[in-house]
Amino acid sequence: MRRTALAALLLTAWFPLSATAASVTVRSGETLSDIANRYGVSVGTLMRMNGIRNPDLVQAGSRLQVPGPTVTAGTGRHRVNSGETLSSIASRYQVRSRDLMALNNLRNANHVEVGQTLRLPSNAVMPRPAFKPVAVTPIPGATEHTVAKGQTLTQIAKAYKLPVASLISINQLSDPNKVEVGTRLYLTDPSFQTAITTQAQPATTKPVQAKAKPVQTKAVQTKAVQTKPVQAKKPVVKAKPVEAAKPKQTHAKSADWRTYGPLQVDWGNWQAMGGSQVVPTLNAQGQALYLAVNCSAKKINATGADGSWKTWEAPKSRFEKDLVKDRCQLKA
C-alpha cells in the first residue's frame, strides 16, 4: 500500500492530470500498445502515468489516463471514400490522426472502412464548397460582354470562341484571374473601327473663289456714248474632293479567330479598304495589329508597333502564303 501511494504521488508530480491528461476506457481485446499508438505516446509513458507494472495485464473496462487534453466532437462528419486513409482525412480537415482515432474508437490508424462515417473534432477546418461556374451564353454578333457572378475569363473566351490571350490584350487586363462582376469586356478591338474610319475619311479641299473685278469706264462729256457693261468672269467651278476608299462593312461581325503561324486572325471581320482587305490580328505576344492582303498584287502588309503600315511584300513564310491563298480564293 505504501509503494502504491508513493507511485501515485510521483505520477501526480510528473503529470498534472487536470492540465495535461484525459481519461479513456479500455475496450475488450485492446492492449496497452494499441492505446499508446492511438495517442502517439510510448507504452512506458502510459505505464508511468497509470502506475502499471505489467503491460500485458490491462483489464477491459478500466480507465487509463493519457496525455493531452480531451478531444471533443464537433458537428462535422466525413464519409470515407475509396482510396482515402486516416492520415489523408486528418490532413484535409487539419486535425491529428490520433484525435480521429479517439473520437471514432479506431484501433488501427492504417485501416478505415469505405463508407464509414467518421466524427470530426470541434477544431476541424471544414473545406469550402466547390466553386460552380456560371455558364456563359454567347450573344450572336455581340462586340461586348458583361461579366456575371461566377463567370471566368476562360469561360467567356471559350463561349465566344476567342483565345484567352485576345481578351487579355484587347481589354488590357493586368490580372486575368480577378475579373470583377459587372466588368464590360470588349470582344473585338474597339480601336479597329476607329482606325478604319480615320483612314477612310476623304481629304477636303477648299474651293477657289473667283473674284471678278468690274471694268470702270470714264464718261465722255462731248458725246453720250452708251457702252455695254463688261461681264465679270465666271467663277471657277468647285472641284469635287476625291473620296478615299471606304470599307464595305461598317459593323463588326462576330469574331472567328483562326491561327496562321504565330498570328491569331479575326477572320469574321475583314474590311475592304483601298482595293485591299484589312483584318484585326494578334501577334504571338497578344498585341493587336492590322493585317492587309492585296489579292491582285498577291502581297501582304501589316502595321508596326506605332500603328503605321509597313511596306508591301510578297508572302515569304508558309503561313503567310496560306493566309493570302485562303483570303484571295474567297474573293475570286
C-alpha 133/C-alpha 270 separation (Å) is 34
pLDDT value at position 13?
37
C-alpha 27/C-alpha 172 separation (Å) is 67
Q: Which carries the bigger pLDDT value, residue 43 or residue 39?
A: 43
pLDDT in tens, 273-322: 778 888 888 887 777 888 889 998 889 998 877 677 888 899 999 889 98
C-alpha 197/C-alpha 278 separation (Å) is 13
Q: Mean pLDDT, the chain, as a whole number? A: 75
pLDDT value at position 35?
86
Q: Place 132 in a pLDDT band, splitting at 50, 70 and 90.
A: low
pLDDT in tens, 163-188: 888 888 888 888 877 788 888 888 88
Q: Place 143 in a pLDDT band, splitting at 50, 70 and 90.
A: confident
pLDDT value at position 282?
86
C-alpha 39/C-alpha 109 separation (Å) is 10
What's this model's pTM, rounded to 2 decimal places? 0.30
CA neighbor of 269 nearest in space, from 287, 255, 281, 283:
255
Average pLDDT over residues 47-59: 89
pLDDT value at position 9?
36
C-alpha 92/C-alpha 298 separation (Å) is 63
